[in-house]
A and B are shown apart, each in its own frame.
Chain A
Amino acid sequence: MTRIACPFCGPRELREFEFHKTLPTPGAQGAFARTYERVADPALSVEHWQHVAGCRAWLLVHRNPSTGVVFAVELAGEVMP
């Protein structure tokens, strides 16, 4: 069931969120790699989403893009270098 648990607002429906991008490959060096080299894993995708129709927090969402199952949601900033 595709709901995203916003760390501030609790579980909310997909329609309140907006997808931004799949994160680059871990350890990607340089602007080109960071911009264009994305992980394309059908079982796990790590993505940035925004709770646009809610608290507007930017979120780091771990999910399975094949099934839509969301594994984990955290605030985007907390794991960024």
Chain B
Amino acid sequence: MSAGPERHGTRLRPGPLSFIFDGRRYTGQAGDTAASALLASGVRLLGRSVKYRRARGLFSAGFEEPNALLTVGVRPSVIPNVPASQLVLSEGMVLRSQNRWPTLGFDLASLLQAGGGFFGAGFYYKTFIWPSWRTYEPLVRHLAGLGEAPRACQLPPVAIEHLHCDVLIAGAGPAGLAAARAAARAGARVVLCESEPACGGELEFEPGMIEGRSAAAWVAMTLAELATLGARVLVSTTVVTDDSGEFIAHAEPGGLPGRNTVYHIRPHAMVMAAGAIERPIVFCNNDRPGVMLLGAAERYLARYGAQVGQEAVLFANHDRVYAAAQRLLAGGLRVRAIVDTRAADAPGTDSEVQRLRESLVRSGVECLSAHAVIGAEGGRAVRAARIAPLAGAGARTGRRISCDTILVSGGWSPALNAGLHGSDARRFAPAVGAFVAGSQTDWRRYAGSANGHFDLAAVLQDGHGAGARAAAHAGARGSAGAHPQGSGDAPPRLAPFARSPATGPAEKRQFIDLQNDVTVADLRTALAEGFIDIEHVKRYTTLGIGTEQGRSSTVVGGAILAELKGETLAAVGTSRSRPPYHPVTMQSIAGFHVGAAVKVARRTPLHDWHATHGGMLEPMGLWMRPRYYLASGANPFDAAVAEARRVRAHGGIADGSTLGKLEIAGPDAAAFLDFLYLSKASTIRVGRSKYMVNLREDGCVLDDGLVLRLAHDRFIATTSSGHGTHMLAHFEYYRATDWAGHRVSVTDVTEAWAAIVVAGPHSRAALSQVLGAPWQGRLSQLAHMDFADGQFGGQDLRVLRASFSGELAVELHCRPAMAVPLWEALICAGLEPYGLEALDILRLEKGYLVSSELNGQTTPLDLGMESLVRQGNPCLGRELLDRPAFHEASRPRLVGLRAADGRAQFLAGAQLTTEAAPAQPCGYVTSSAYSPTLGEWLGLALVARDCVSERALLTARDPLRGSDTPVRVVSAVHFDPSSERMKT
């Protein structure tokens, strides 16, 4: 399409821009939105509705736009559901209409409505039930949904900026600007967010005088003053959520999600001055392209010099329509008629409005009172409006006025924005015909038209007052000065009117929610079927769902529901919208937390060695740990079996650095540990260690580990790798509460020590060779559970003789810098690394708890630790262990399992049953592994005590993996029950 004559508007700059819409090239002007450029090019059909595929055009000039949603970009990296009214064009932009197939002009699914009538409320629930929903799902899915999801994302990561300020103001219309100025003058740090690319709000097109200046000059002057006062003004930025006072504002330069910044704003006080959203009046076929909000026509004209049509009929229920008509007329639109629902002799008629009306009549505009537009004629575009008096003769049929545009205005609903998401109460304001905030709090105030004021003088005063109060609440002590004086359009004098009279069949074409094709007939159906509450009606009919969240439809919907129920709108209310206030891409929420940066990874000092030597690293909590090494075998099973076999036959080394290590020090350290552990720490001799178990306050086992006594008043408690951070908090909690005032400290030294496990019959020889002469004598003197401190390579080294494999083994605790040299020296001495899988096999062979046995539900009695309990240490959780329920026969008991035939495989998670009760599980397999040493599958299981007897035969049932394996209960210690190997 060729460019028309150059247009003039507040948002336009000279210079053409070309763009593609549905495969055709169009020309717009710099500063244009997709909506204004398409309007100026004469394109009226911009999309089809989601359910009935009815032709739809532009309806609004804001992001309340329900119809004209576009998909931007080229597959696969597309952005769907961008309102044409918000999308600022850039050269070469590629746009597509939505909800049409194969083309916008000819849509196959739209034939459905021509043939079979409309799908009413609950259509899907009622229709697709035989034989089952799945029969219909593929077809319905093809037709359903709003827009097309991107298959790839080629956008750069979104920046997240954190802002701290005294006062956050949402909206830079007259109220927001007055509030910002008042707060900034008082000395507050101000952040002002405006959704539109320019400030001013209504002042952009409603001529008014403020402080002796034109409105435009006042806006410019105020912005200049805000800049000198250090206020931050963010345009194209919408406050989308309020998370208990932490606001998330979403900046979309150009109205395009994806090229954005997300601001997390923490203000001390907040002013919501987001204005009001014009609401339509519902009439038959009010969804046709050409039916549009009155304010939208004014905005397109003032901002972009774009005409919404040639000939218009205006339909409203308030006085503002006359001033608007005059401006539109002056702008070149032929206004055929103004249809006012109010009676001509309504009390309080403003004399100025009367004069305006008379002058419009002289210009050839037909002014009708107590009339309504009862229908629009035309298919893909409006051809005429049908007008009827609200009472008397002709009320049913009406007469026809030909036009291509019907501009409708039913009043304005205060934009409660993010405040709507929370539990804030809303109050019905009769003069406004809509809801305002139920209460104003010190830290969040609504102001201006968002607070139900529609007279410019009152709006400015309200905004100024809210800004000054917010600043004072935030602690600013300066003076906000006097509030700005101004005068603008006459007050609206609105008489609530939600829909025109209609017959039953016409109600099926009275659209309340354009985005979701919800009609008056749907509300009737919902009521008839028992959905009475507005929130139920919303869910049943889909009124107010979708990207638009009912911005233009919830108040009208509530009013019509009230009419159908015979109640007041105040009683019916409106449904709540859900956050965010407008759609935000998942990418914006994620920010930089994508890919490898999704979460923190803790790496051991040996991480790089593992990675470069075939260690298959996997996350375990936040830690990355080697599962097995590729050199040992090609798959996890073969590798783990080979590594475990090698440790038993010869030896191996493993990275144990992830074990949690807490240093407990102070004169009361021993007593403190006695309180936290089931057995006593105070009886450990210096230089010795002990296997200990922690209980939770309810008596269940929390964790296990070794406690080393370094000195009389100093211990190291090790925790399992996954529980490290939790155990630190647990120790800190009791130190801060029950043990407050005692002389004991808790320090996390996990990352101050690397740990290398050296295990196997040849481990001592290798170790002697690596540690050299100073250690040789000491190594042989170390008894089981002894440790010795010394040096290696000039740095601290602790050698702890402890074994979790059942082999002769030590743990070497060294400084992180020494980990790699020590590890490589051990490799040179003939030891090879083994991973977590092999470690689990070795543990299981010895009956050591692997991890799923400590599931937070097992007590030490369940786990066979009676001897520890019998020591009678009055520790945390000990008292509740005596509860009778913990001693019942149904409590689980830790046992060993082997396949009855000595060969079959059974896996962790399998349910165990007895022969007597084959359908009633008496326990389950907690861990299982193939033991290369014993040549068969071994397991640990938790089994009800009354089903446990030596050699009892159970069945391990694993229906998900399709096996039933007879298993035998055996001792949990499968290998070397007397522990000779590790103690000699």
Contact = CB atoms under 8 A, between A and B. Distances in A.
Nearest to A36: B698
Nearest to A68: B244
Given A3-B245, A14-B244, A76 B737 contact: yes
B729 interface: yes
B733 A58 contact: yes
B245 A1 contact: yes
Contacts of A56: 729, 732
A52 B729 CA distance: 8
A53 B784 CA distance: 39
Given A57-B736, A77-B740, A35 B880 contact: yes
B733 A31 contact: no
A18 B736 contact: no
Interface string B704-743: 0000000000000000000000000100110011101100
A59 B245 CA distance: 22
A41 interface: no
Given A32-B880, A77-B741, A80-B740, A20 B733 contact: yes
B946 interface: no
Contacts of A77: 736-737, 740-741
Interface string B39-68: 000000000000000000000000000000
A36 to B, nearest CB: 8
A18 B740 contact: no
B736 A2 contact: no
Contacts of B246: 1-2, 13
Contact of B732 (A36, A58, A78): A58
A27 B650 CA distance: 60
Nearest to B880: A31
Nearest to A1: B245
B775 interface: no
Contacts of B740: 76-78, 80
A68 B733 CA distance: 23
Nearest to A32: B880
A20 B268 CA distance: 27
A68 B697 CA distance: 28
Contacts of B880: 31-32, 35
Interface residues of A, number: 25
Contact of B697 (A13, A18, A31): A31
A26 to B, nearest CB: 15
Given A2-B244, A18-B729, 18 more contacts: A1-B245, A1-B246, A1-B443, A13-B266, A20-B729, A35-B697, A35-B698, A56-B729, A56-B732, A57-B736, A58-B733, A68-B244, A75-B736, A76-B733, A76-B736, A76-B737, A77-B736, A78-B740
Interface in B258-278: 266, 268
A10 to B, nearest CB: 13
Given A1-B245, A13-B246, A50-B729, A58 B879 contact: no
A2 B245 contact: yes
B270 to A, nearest CB: 9
Contacts of B738: 80
Interface in A25-70: 30-32, 34-36, 48, 50, 52, 56-58, 68
Contacts of B443: 1
Nearest to B244: A2
A76 B266 CA distance: 27
B20 to A, nearest CB: 44
B441 to A, nearest CB: 10
A32 B877 CA distance: 10
Nearest to A50: B729
A77 B735 CA distance: 8
Contact of B737 (A18, A48, A52): A48
Interface string B194-212: 0000000000000000000
B900 to A, nearest CB: 42
A12 to B, nearest CB: 10
A76 B697 CA distance: 18
A7 B737 CA distance: 16
Contacts of A14: 244
Interface centre among B268, B740, B879 (most CB of A within 10 A): B740
A80 B879 CA distance: 20
Which 6 A-B pairs give the minimum distances between C-beta atoms? A1-B245, A77-B740, A58-B736, A2-B244, A31-B879, A77-B736
Given A1-B443, A31-B880, A35-B880, A80 B737 contact: yes
A46 to B, nearest CB: 13
A56 B268 CA distance: 25
Contacts of B244: 1-2, 14, 68
B733 A50 contact: yes
A78 B732 CA distance: 15
Given A14-B244, A35-B698, A50 B737 contact: no
A68 B443 CA distance: 14
A75 B740 CA distance: 10
Nearest to B729: A50
Contacts of B736: 57-58, 75-77
Nearest to A78: B740
9 contacts: A1-B245, A1-B268, A3-B245, A13-B246, A14-B244, A31-B879, A58-B732, A80-B738, A80-B740
Nearest to B270: A1
Nearest to B264: A13
Contacts of A68: 244
A34 B245 CA distance: 34
Contacts of B883: 32
Contacts of B729: 18, 20, 50, 52, 56
A48 B733 contact: yes
B728 to A, nearest CB: 8
Contacts of A52: 729
Contacts of B879: 30-32
A35 B729 CA distance: 18
Nearest to B441: A1
A2 B245 CA distance: 7
Contacts of A32: 879-880, 883
Nearest to B748: A56
A14 B737 CA distance: 22
A2 to B, nearest CB: 4
Interface string A8-22: 000001100010100
Contacts of B245: 1-3
Contacts of A30: 879
A39 B883 CA distance: 23
A77 B732 CA distance: 11
A32 B736 CA distance: 21
B746 to A, nearest CB: 10
A47 to B, nearest CB: 12
A59 B767 CA distance: 47
Contacts of A13: 246, 266
B162 to A, nearest CB: 10
A66 B385 CA distance: 52
Interface centre among A3, A31, A48 (most CB of B within 10 A): A31
B437 to A, nearest CB: 16
Contacts of B266: 13
Contacts of A78: 740
A77 to B, nearest CB: 3
A2 B268 CA distance: 11
Contacts of B698: 35-36
Nearest to B725: A52
Nearest to B696: A35
Nearest to A66: B423
A32 B738 CA distance: 16
B698 to A, nearest CB: 6
Contacts of A80: 737-738, 740
A78 B582 CA distance: 46
Interface centre among A1, A14, A68, A80 (most CB of B within 10 A): A1
A73 to B, nearest CB: 14
Nearest to A20: B733
